[in-house]
Every structure is written in structure tokens, then in C-alpha cells.
Amino acid sequence: MTETATSEPVGAQSERCTAAVRISGASVRLGGRIIFADVDLTVDSGQFVAILGPNGAGKSTLMRAILGLAPLAAGSVQVLGDTPAGARSRVGYLPQQRSLDRAAGVRGVDLVRLGLDGTRWGLPLPPLGKARRRSERNRIAEVIELVGASAYAGRAIGELSGGEQQRLLIAQALVRRPELLILDEPLDSLDLPNQAAVAALVRGVTSRERVAVLLVAHDVNPLLPHLDRVVYLAGGRALTGPVDEVITAPRLSALYGAPIEVLRTSDGRLVVVGLPEAPHHHGDRHEPQP
Amino acid sequence: MTPTVNPSLSLNLVADLRDLFQFPFMVHALEAATIVAVLASVVGWYVVLRRQAFAGHTLSVMAFPGAAGAALAGWPAALGYYVACAAAALAMAGTGPAVGRHKSVASAVIATVQITGLAAGFLFLSLNHQILVGLETLLFGTFLGVSSSQVLVLLAIAAGVLAVTALIARPLHFCTLDPEVARARGVPVRALDVCFLLILAFAVAATSQITGALLTFALLVAPPAAAQLITGRTLAGLVVSVAIALVVAWLGLAAAYFSIYPAGFYVTTFALAAYVLAWTARAARGRLAARRRTRLPSAGVLESG
């Protein structure tokens, strides 16, 4: 069922060291409804991949399957050469629209710290962990510096803007040096300058720390300069490949089973027209920059 | 020195303190109040953070079916408290996550548990031919009627509950502030929900035996809520919460000793005063910060001009 636009030969991938994510023939059924079926996807280490598609196409569910939170009806998911549950400690996750009202009085730096020690049982014992605590403090300061949040990390979460909160949450997801970073609509509630800035930040940080990124996006615009590949989910099927191979009229038409046009404006932007869904979510697109 | 029947407050602090400690019932009351203050203010810190005050209130009301059921079955009242609170906690836990999306459903479930518990207490009372000794004690506590064996039981339960709380402290904190990410990282969010409700059940059962079912919140919610107004830091918040609860409990007992009004009234009043003070301090700090912010830009204009 799946149509792939992958240009790489299959053999080349399997010879490399373990891929960050390897999904084959995966189907997820929730409440009797098939969310998606027979999806194949490979994300190599260090790659920056976006998952696109209309509302309800199963983008978040695909992420949850990779995290081991959504059970598969068929197929398999391998994360960093392990099962999703087994790879948990090596994956950073930023969920969509989380409610931080309980954390409103908590300092940013403490929220970042939870990413490091929030899963540990018991209390830190002062005499045993002195060296470890110092190295943890250093790592927290380092990752906060990395996302450019040092100026306000000591303030309460509730006092910060959406963009500032998002930077601290990215720091929290990165603090354990994950090998794979999963971001569910990280740009959703941000204004346009912040969208571009956060997208560039994620790309910069992850290429410096050699992290593969899998990112769900509603609007691909701010991501286009950074993307290695895209996954386009629609109608329970997936299309994967480089941006300019996937977002084309014939391929999207075949995926949707309806005529789709991809127009190029005079200033080089791409506009996708004719989607069966509400028109707002595919705004004009920038030409991808290689 | 002969014990005075009607203690009066003198201006000599040493004499007053010696006066306070001359009766064993007063020593036991201070011991019990200290244990309960530490237990309630630590557990309460998570209750306030997790917005579970309603669940705490429901558990405190379980003192009624607990006491009535214990009287019917011929158990000690304390055992009835613990059993009723634990059963109510499990009933609340069985119906869905405490921290999460379905907040309105959760509060309806808690209300249902509360009303079922009260109805059961009424039934037990009727089956027992309307005999329930110490109704006033049940509602308003027995600060001054605690025995030394009760203090020991209280100490053992508080130590156990606090040890379990310390063991799960960080994952509990994680799944309280950030349940989605905690779940993705493999923290057993659901099990921690249940575990914390049981911790809360034991803390409430222990506290309400001393403060009474209706005044449990004086120590369980007011000191932690005041502490969270003062600081957002975890350790500092817990320390402030415990300190407020201890001061409130000790001052309340001392005030009751030297006056004709009950301890529960003083403890509750002082707890409210601590909260009001913390709120005022925070409001004042916020206004100062706002004034500093508005002053800064104009200072910049002056410098550049």
C-alpha cells in the first residue's frame, strides 16, 4: 500500500550502523479505526525528518508508536536498534501542547533538571553523589546555554513567554544527550519569528550534538531550510523522501486519491492546492534550500 | 511548683514553657501535633502541587464512615479511619488518572466517592442503633486527649508514609509537572497516582485523628499553599511548608492551653494567618518588581538623553 519515493537503495541503509528509527509495515488501530496501515520509514542517525499531513492523519500516533505508547496492530518499530520501550532512556520527547499550569511556579532550570533525574527513585544522598551532582549541574547549565535560555532559566515558568518556555522544554528533552529527539508540533503555538528561530535552533543543536530529529509539523514553511527528508501521512498511508520529490502534484494526488496541484509562485514558493481538507493548513511554502 | 488548674500566661517565657510541659497530656499533645504537622505539610505540598485538595477533603470526610464502621465492627476507631481512607483512595484511583485530561470527570468521581462514604457511615450508624461516641472528637479533634501509645502508632505511620514519599519523590514530581513526558520516559504514571492517593489516605487518617475531620486542612493544605506562594523551589518549599505547619501547631496548642478556646480553632486560625501573610508578601513583591520594571526604561532614556 505504501508508496515510497526513497531514492537510496535499501541495501545501503542496512549496512550502516543502526538507524535511529526503522519502521516496517506498521499499522495502528485505535478504537476499531485504522489510523494508518503498512507504513515504512527509516530515519538514519543525525537526520532531520519532518512528519507532515492533514489533521487526523495519524502523525501524533506515529510518534507515540515510536515511543512505545501506541500498540501496533501489525508490523514492527525499531528505535536505535532496540524496542521502543528499551530505547526510552536514549530518546528525548517534546509532546504537543502540554499543559504546564502545575509547573507555573517552578523555575525553568528545575524543569530542565527533571529531564535528567525525574525518573530516579529515592533521594539523592549528599556524600555519595557530590561529583555526580556537580557534573549534572554543569550539564544542565550547558544545555540551557545551548538553547540560549541562560538569561531567564532562573525565573518561574509561568512568567515566561511561549518561545522562552519552548526553548527550556527543548533543553529538558536534550539534557540526557539523547540519540533521537522526537518533537510533536514544537512550532505550533509560536509566532513567526520564533518559529524560524526555534527551527534553526533545533537544527543547530542537534547537528552539534549528533542527534536524529523526528518532528511533526503542521506548517512545513519554517522547517524547509533544515529538512533532510519528509514523511507525508494521508488517508492512512505514508509517502517518504526528500521534500522536492514528495511534495509534487502527481505524488500527492496519488496519496490523496484526488487531484492535487502544487503551484510555484513567481518568488519561488510552493503552494499546494485542491486538498480535500480545510484549506488553511497548507499555506504557501518556501522553495526548499538545498 | 504545684500544677495550676487554670494556667495563665505570664510575661516570663521560661515560666510559661515550664507551665506548658508540666502535664503528660500536654506533652503528648505537643508530640502528636509535631508528628502530624511534619507529615501533613510534606504530603500536603504534593497535594497542592497536584491540585488534589478535593480528594484530600473527601478522604478527611471518610473519618465518619470509618469511625461508625469501626464502632459497628468492634474495632478501634483509628483502624476504621485507615481502612475507610484507604478504601476511598482506591475507589478514586480505580476510576482514572488523577493528573490528566479528564479533570471534570475526576472531580465528579471524587464527589460520588464522598457521598457514598457518608451514606455508608449513616448506614453503619443506623445498624449500630445510633451509637457513636465522641462525635465532636471526630469532627474537631482530640489535641488534648492523645495517649503515649497513640503517639507511637502515629510516629510509626508517619515514618512509613514519609519514607515511601521520599522513595517516589522525584518520579512523582516529574509526573505531576509533566505527565506526558514522564510517561514517554517510562515513569509508571498510573501506579504513582494510586500510590500517592494511598499516601494521602494514610496522612489524612493520621492527621484527622488529631485535628478532627473538619480541620485536617489546617495542616494539610494551608501551610503548603503558603509555602508555594513564597517559593517555587522544591526543597525550600518543603522546608518552609514544614516550618509553617510546626509553628502553627505549636502556637495553636500553646494558645489553647492558656485560654478557654479549643486548640483546633487556634491551629486553623494561625494556618489561615500564615496563608494570608504569604499571599500579602507575594503581592507586595510582585508590585515592587513591576515598579522596578517600569522605572528601568525611563532611566535608560535619561542616560541616552
Query: Does the interface predicted TM-score (ipTM) exceed 0.85?
Result: no
Residue (of A13, A59, A78, A27) closest to A216 by Cα position: A59
Q: Report if residue B233 sits inside a domain.
A: no
What's the pLDDT at A13? 42
For residue B208, what are the CA distances in angstroms to A22, A31, A67, B61, B200? 55, 44, 43, 9, 12
Find the DSSP H helices in chain B: 13-20, 24-49, 53-61, 63-73, 77-93, 103-127, 135-140, 148-177, 179-184, 189-211, 217-220, 222-230, 234-257, 263-304
Query: Residue A98 is nearest to which of B49, B173, B180, comparing CB atoms?
Result: B180
A288/A221 Cα distance (integer angstroms): 9
Which chain B residues touch A85 with a CB distance below 8 Å? 186
Q: Report if residue B203 sits inside a domain.
A: yes
B86/B128 Cα distance (integer angstroms): 23
Strands in A284-285's sheet, in edge-to-edge order, are A261-264, A270-273, A284-285
Residue B98 has which C-alpha cell? Answer: 488523577
Q: Report if residue B161 sits inside a domain.
A: yes
What's the pLDDT at A34? 86
Q: Report if residue A48 sits inside a domain.
A: yes
Q: Report if residue A290 sits inside a domain.
A: no
Beta carbons of B185 and A119 less than 8 angstroms apart: yes
Per run of 10 residues, the mean pLDDT along chain A (length 290 residues) is 44 56 90 86 89 85 90 91 90 82 88 91 75 89 91 91 89 92 87 85 84 87 84 86 84 81 69 61 42
What range does the domain containing A50 cover? 3-285
Q: Report if residue B284 sits inside a domain.
A: no
Shortest Cα–Cα distance, A284 to chain B (Å): 32
Shortest Cα–Cα distance, A156 to chain B (Å): 7
Any CB–CB contact under 8 A between A116 and chain B? Answer: no
Any CB–CB contact under 8 A between B182 and chain A? Answer: yes
What's the pLDDT at B180? 86
Any CB–CB contact under 8 A between B226 and chain A? Answer: no
Contact A102 B99 (CB under 8 A): yes
Residue B11 has which C-alpha cell? Answer: 510575661
Residue (of A246, A213, A207, A250) closest to A230 by Cα position: A246
What's the pLDDT at A269? 61
A269/A247 Cα distance (integer angstroms): 12
Within a 10 A sphere around the Cβ of A16, how many other Cβ atoms? 10
What's the pLDDT at B184? 87
- Tell me which residue has cell 522562552: A164
Residue A26 has which C-alpha cell? Answer: 506498521
Query: Residue B173 is nearest to which of A105, A118, A156, comparing CB atoms?
Result: A118
Q: Is the pLDDT of residue B59 over 60?
A: yes
What range does the domain containing B101 cover? 17-220
Q: Report if residue A23 sits inside a domain.
A: yes
Lowest mean pLDDT among A3-7, B32-36, B175-179: A3-7
- The more confident residue out of A103 and B83 is B83
- Cβ-Cβ contacts under 8 Å for B22 (sequence gap 6 or more): B1, B3
Most confident of A229-238, B73-82, B124-133, B167-176: B167-176
Any CB–CB contact under 8 A between A97 and chain B? Answer: no
Interface test with B, best of A63, A93, A114 (most B CBs within 10 A): A114
What's the pLDDT at B23? 84
Residue B106 has which C-alpha cell? Answer: 475526576
Residue A172: CATH number of its domain = 3.40.50.300
What's the pLDDT at B98? 52
Q: Report if residue B268 sits inside a domain.
A: no
Q: Is the pLDDT of residue B304 over 50?
A: no
What are residue A24's phi and psi, to 5 degrees? Answer: -135, 130
What's the pLDDT at B38? 96
Contact A120 B170 (CB under 8 A): yes
What's the pLDDT at B209? 85
Most confident of A12-16, B52-56, B92-96, B161-165: B161-165
- The strand pairing partners of A51, in sequence order, are A216, A231
A276/B213 Cα distance (integer angstroms): 60
A253/A266 Cα distance (integer angstroms): 23
- Domain count within chain A: 1
- Domain count within chain B: 1
A284, HSE (Cβ side, Cα atoms, 13 Å): 8
Mean pLDDT, chain B, integer: 86
Backbone angle region of B183, left / alpha / beta, with phi > 0 → left and psi within -120 to 50 → alpha: alpha
What's the pLDDT at B3? 47
CA-CA-CA-CA torsion sign (A212, A217, A223, A224):
positive
Cα dihedral A86/A92/A98/A101 (nearest 10): 100
Q: Report if residue B3 sits inside a domain.
A: no
Residue A131 has which C-alpha cell? Answer: 561529583
Q: Report if residue A142 sits inside a domain.
A: yes
DSSP-derived letter for residue B258 is T
Most confident of A239-253, B26-40, B88-102, B290-304: B26-40
Interface test with B, best of A94, A121, A159 (most B CBs within 10 A): A121
Contact A122 B233 (CB under 8 A): no
For residue A141, the surrounding DSSP H or E stretch is helix A130-146
Q: Report if residue A175 sits inside a domain.
A: yes
Within a 10 A sphere around the Cβ of A123, how many other Cβ atoms? 12
Residue B72: CATH number of its domain = 1.10.3470.10
Query: Residue B232 is nearest to which of A89, A106, A117, comparing CB atoms?
Result: A106
Q: For the whole prediction, is pTM greater than 0.95?
A: no
Find the DSSP H helices in A147-191: 162-174
Nearest residue on chain B to A102, judged by CA atoms?
A: B177
